[in-house]
Amino acid sequence: MLQAYLFIIVLTLFNLVIDVPFALYRTFVIEEKWGYNKTTKGTFACDRLKGLLITCVLAGLFMPLILWIIHVAGSALIPCLMGFSIFVILFVNLLVPVVILPMFFTFTDLDEGELRTAIFAESEKTAIPVSQIKVIDGSKRSSHSNAFVTGFGSFRKVVLFDTLMNTHSKDEILAIVNHELGHVAHMHVLKFAAISIVKLTIIFSLFSLVLNNPEILLSFGVNHTSAFMALLLFTTILDPFNFPLQFGEMYIIRKAEYEADAYACTYNHAEGLKSGLIILFKHNKGHLIVDPLWSALNNSHPTLIERLQAIDKQIAVSDKNN
């Protein structure tokens, strides 16, 4: 168990050493050149250390648990691993906004005023309760802008990047917030969690095949039965099989973006959303022309042109109905 844990930590350190020069170049050369970088070398180093700490803690929690499940589950391995994956997904969803994000960003309450009142009015209109509106100091690291909604029920928070507040008008921010509320209305987080659980169940079922076939381990030069080695080997050979699945996954995520845009249109935010998206695009210097195959595999959001066209279609439909 300790050996497996140490192996994960050494592997993480190894990946960190390889990644750091690239990350330094990306942040302090490329992002700097285009005026996005706001990170200092101290913040950069501090972020890496915090990331390493999080990996150590999470690996320390999950690694023994997963190896223990494999050890004791016997014929009930798949349902046990499924239960474990539900636990991990819930744990991560609850942990990220409450513990991990505050380690990297400072959250402050949005000042009383017109925008705050208008966002709460938006929450009332859509019947999606929001308890807090926070501003996150994204500008400390980068001038890329964004917004998101996090938490459940009465703990739900709307989070705005300070960079978004500096670049968008009130109507545009409201349209973007309404788009985020659209994700809540369509239960996208729950749907994605369900998809992840199905995916993990398939992966775990395949893993039990590897675990129960010592020949597979032998063919890779492992001459003893080790749950950890089977897990490690399995995750390595899984990668090429994951590749085609990514097309399907990205398609579903992009479809959710169209649904959230359409939702904002039904609340009369079509024009605000269009101009808000154009400003975001200009500000983040997005790609205007994207290779369709690359986009199908990598883009979690439809391109700006695709989104604008879809919003225009929505406007045409609602004009026809009125």
Binding site for Zn ion (CB under 5 A): 257, 260
Helix, strand or coil for residue 77? helix
Task: Read off the tokens for 285.
Answer: 């210097």
Q: Is 180 a catalytic residue?
A: yes
Residue whose CB is less far from Zn ion, 172 or 257: 257
Amino acid in position 70:
I
Residue whose CB is less far from Zn ion, 204 or 258: 258
Q: Which of 171, 180, 215, 257 is catalytic?
A: 180
Q: Is 306 a catalytic residue?
A: no
Task: Read off the tokens for 270.
Answer: 């079509």
Task: Using alpha carbons, select from 229, 232, 230, 242 the residue that is nearest to residue 202.
Answer: 242
Q: Which of 31, 172, 257, 261 is catalytic?
A: 261
Helix, strand or coil for residue 269? coil
Q: Min. distance of Cβ 86 from Zn ion in angstroms?
A: 24
Residue whose CB is less far from Zn ion, 8 or 260: 260
Tell me the DSSP string of 216-237: HHHHTT--S--HHHHHHHHHHH
SS3 readout for 233-263:
HHHHHHHHHHHHHHHHHHHHHHHHHHHHHHH
How far apart are alpha carbons 239 and 226 in whole angstroms?
Answer: 21
Task: Using alpha carbons, select from 23, 58, 56 the residue that is nearest to residue 41.
Answer: 23
Q: Min. distance of Cβ 261 from Zn ion in angstroms?
A: 8
Q: Min. distance of Cβ 88 from Zn ion in angstroms?
A: 24
Task: Read off the tokens for 125.
Answer: 């209109």
Residue whose CB is less far from Zn ion, 62 or 192: 192
Work out whether strand 147-150 and strand 107-109 pair parallel, antiparallel, or are unpaired.
unpaired
Q: Min. distance of Cβ 179 from Zn ion in angstroms?
A: 6
Contact 211, 227 (CB under 8 A): yes
Tell me the DSSP string of 92-148: HHHHIIIIIHHHH--EEEPPSSHHHHHHHHHHHHHT----EEEEE-GGGTB----EE
Residue whose CB is less far from Zn ion, 115 or 260: 260
Residue whose CB is less far from Zn ion, 175 or 260: 260
Distances (CA, A) of 120 to 41, 136, 181: 38, 18, 12
Q: Min. distance of Cβ 148 from Zn ion in angstroms?
A: 8
Provide the annotated active-site residues. 180, 261
